[in-house]
């Protein structure tokens, strides 16, 4: 027998998901700018570094900023909405536009000065190298 966590309001959440204009996100329409979006990220680790990858389609690298301050890495930028052409009419727009910002607490043992970022094929990859530290030896504390 396994224990299952009971969520008494989960059925209400499902019901409200069917009403996107009232309780979910507003459907985008031409001219609509949603400044409450943030790109999803994938964070991985190898022996030498941490990698933070985020998909930023239609975002120019000039519109992205990566900063490190007090152990916090911040990724911010803006995606601009394409202007509608005279011969083009949008029927549905599901992309989010506007400014975004994501922040990540950096672990101990990283080389903040060597962090680098690269943008290729709509994916921003941030390389956070680890510092090479000697393995710490256990310390015995004498009880008084």
Find out whether 55 and 125 touch, Cβ atoms under 8 Å: no
Confirm whether pTM is higher than 0.95.
no
| Burial grade of 7 (CB within 10 A; 0-12, 13-18, 19 or more) | exposed
Phi, psi of 39 (to 5 degrees): -70, 150
What pLDDT does residue 22 have? Answer: 45
What pLDDT does residue 4 have? Answer: 62
- The domain locations on the chain are 34-129
- Look up the CATH number of domain 34-129: 2.60.40.790
What pLDDT does residue 81 have? Answer: 76
Find out whether 27 and 21 touch, Cβ atoms under 8 Å: yes
What pLDDT does residue 98 have? Answer: 84
What pLDDT does residue 6 have? Answer: 66
pLDDT < 50 regions, the chain = 21-34
What pLDDT does residue 7 have? Answer: 67
Taking CA 64 as the corner, what is the angle to CA 38 and CA 74, rounded to the nearest 5 degrees? 60
């Amino acid at each position: 027998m396994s224990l299952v966590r009971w969520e008494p309001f989960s059925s209400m959440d499902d019901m409200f998901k069917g009403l996107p204009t009232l309780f979910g996100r507003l459907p985008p329409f031409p001219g609509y700018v949603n400044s409450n979006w943030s790109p999803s990220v994938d964070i991985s680790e190898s022996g030498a570094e941490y990698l933070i990858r985020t998909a930023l389609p239609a975002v120019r690298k000039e519109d992205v900023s990566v900063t490190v301050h007090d152990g916090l890495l911040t990724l911010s930028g803006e995606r601009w909405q394409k202007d509608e052409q005279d011969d083009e009419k949008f029927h549905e727009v599901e992309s989010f536009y506007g400014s975004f910002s994501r922040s990540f607490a950096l672990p101990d043992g990283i080389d903040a000065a060597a962090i680098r970022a690269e943008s290729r094929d709509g994916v921003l990859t941030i390389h956070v190298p680890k510092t090479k530290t000697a393995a710490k030896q256990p310390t015995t504390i004498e009880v008084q």
